[in-house]
């Protein structure tokens, strides 16, 4: 990991390390992903070294996030054209407009989200080296077989589509395992160790305008246990039908009944990834 490359000595070191097979991560100042190559050359990197060692470039920009006071309306055709380059799993029909309220000081915006541009080497760098494809072609927007360029979009769009899940479990190792399962399914996971953390995480999400799509919670936890947390939650109209799945080692029927009464799913520990997936798919439909 190299903080930032600003001089030819660091650049040479980075390229040498990459050529010897090390994974080198670094930042460099450039206007976009394509401009990274001329920038490396300026700092003394040779084309052949770039071709054989650079495996990808990610550029980041921060854009303003709409405040929760935003309003939805039908998208117009000229706007649809602006979104052409972005691959969307579903056709775009609506768009959000900034409105303004006391919370956002009437700006209509609250916070920022990062958008990323990817430029990834797919086959090999040989053609770039031979000058048959590369910077110029890519900048013209061609998709060469050597480099695959993806325009700005929200990183892990699939993840964003799947939404955020709150995971509550007091045993750290179990929490990490289940969290990994959920992340692999494409969810963003916010972790807590008991019901109290659950309330805090929900509040935080509400403040940040993040929609929680489900809660996966252990039953027996210190301070505020799973059923107590969910019972309180269900009293709020907003969370009346939020999908919830309990995880527990207890095979006792009373636990199953408690889960049922709270309109929650129920899976036994150790949690099986595919079982969790089946339940989540059924509940979040």
CB of 285 to Zn ion, least distance (A): 31
Comparison of 101 and 155: residue with beta carbon closer to Zn ion: 101
Instruction: Name 158's Cβ contacts closer than 8 Å, sequence gap at least 6.
Output: 89, 186
134 exposure class (CB count in 10 Å sphere: 0-12, 13-18, 19+): buried
Instruction: Name 122's Cβ contacts closer than 8 Å, sequence gap at least 6.
Output: 145, 146, 147, 148
Stretch that binds Zn ion, among 68-76, 219-227, 252-260, 269-277 (CB under 5 A): 68-76
CB of 115 to Zn ion, least distance (A): 21
Does 66 sit near Zn ion (CB under 5 A)?
no
Out of 11, 40, 54, 67, which residue is the one contacting Zn ion (CB under 5 A)?
Answer: 67
Out of 104, 193, 245, 259, which residue is the one contacting Zn ion (CB under 5 A)?
Answer: 104
**What span, in angstroms and rounded, lies between the C-alpha atoms of 51 and 49?**
5
CB of 210 to Zn ion, least distance (A): 15
Comparison of 105 and 184: residue with beta carbon closer to Zn ion: 105
Tokens for 206, please give them. 């509400």
Q: Phi and psi dihedrals of 89, rounded to 5?
A: -65, -25
CB of 69 to Zn ion, least distance (A): 3
Comparison of 11 and 67: residue with beta carbon closer to Zn ion: 67
Cite the DSSP H helix spans in the chain: 8-19, 36-42, 47-53, 77-82, 126-129, 135-139, 157-162, 172-184, 195-208, 226-234, 253-261, 273-283
Stretch that binds Zn ion, among 17-25, 59-67, 82-90, 240-248 (CB under 5 A): 59-67
Out of 58, 101, 155, 205, which residue is the one contacting Zn ion (CB under 5 A)?
Answer: 101
Stretch that binds Zn ion, among 64-72, 142-150, 164-172, 267-275 (CB under 5 A): 64-72
Binding string, residues 188-227; x marks residues near Zn ion by CB under 5 A: ----------------------------------------
**What span, in angstroms and rounded, lies between the C-alpha atoms of 200 and 193?**
11
Comparison of 120 and 206: residue with beta carbon closer to Zn ion: 206
CB of 207 to Zn ion, least distance (A): 12
CB of 98 to Zn ion, least distance (A): 8
Comparison of 8 and 105: residue with beta carbon closer to Zn ion: 105
What's the gap between Cα 229 and its chain centre? 27
Q: Hey, is 157 helix, strand or coil?
A: helix
Tokens for 95, please give them. 């768009």
CB 217 within 8 A of CB 192: no
247 exposure class (CB count in 10 Å sphere: 0-12, 13-18, 19+): buried
Comparison of 32 and 68: residue with beta carbon closer to Zn ion: 68
Comparison of 109 and 152: residue with beta carbon closer to Zn ion: 109
Out of 30, 58, 69, 205, which residue is the one contacting Zn ion (CB under 5 A)?
Answer: 69
Q: Which residues bind Zn ion (CB under 5 A)?
A: 67, 69, 101, 103-104
């Amino acid at each position: 990991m190299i903080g930032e490359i600003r001089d030819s000595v660091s650049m040479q070191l980075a390229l040498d390390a990459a050529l010897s097979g090390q994974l080198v991560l670094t930042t460099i100042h450039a206007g976009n992903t394509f401009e990274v190559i001329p920038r490396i050359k300026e700092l003394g990197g040779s084309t052949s070294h770039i071709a054989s060692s650079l495996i990808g470039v990610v550029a980041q920009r921060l854009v303003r996030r709409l405040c929760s006071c935003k309003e939805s309306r039908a998208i117009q055709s000229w706007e649809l054209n602006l979104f052409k380059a972005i691959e969307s799993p579903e056709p775009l029909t609506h768009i959000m407009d900034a409105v303004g309220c006391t919370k956002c000081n009437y700006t209509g915006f609250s916070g920022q989200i990062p958008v990323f541009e990817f430029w990834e080497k797919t086959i090999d760098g040989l053609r770039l080296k031979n000058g048959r494809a590369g910077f110029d072609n890519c900048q013209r927007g061609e998709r060469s077989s050597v480099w695959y360029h993806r325009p700005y979009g929200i990183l892990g769009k699939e993840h964003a589509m799947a939404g955020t899940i709150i995971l509550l479990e007091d045993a750290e190792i179990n929490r990490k395992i289940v969290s990994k399962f959920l992340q692999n399914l494409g969810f963003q996971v916010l972790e807590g160790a008991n019901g109290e953390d659950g309330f805090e995480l929900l509040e935080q999400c509400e403040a940040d305008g993040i929609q929680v799509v489900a809660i996966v919670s252990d039953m027996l936890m210190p301070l505020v246990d799973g059923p107590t947390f969910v019972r309180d939650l269900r009293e709020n109209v907003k969370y009346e039908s939020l999908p919830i799945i309990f995880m527990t080692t207890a095979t006792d029927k009373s636990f199953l009944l408690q889960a049922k009464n709270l309109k929650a799913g129920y899976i036994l520990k150790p949690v099986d990834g595919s079982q969790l997936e089946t339940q989540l798919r059924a509940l979040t439909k």
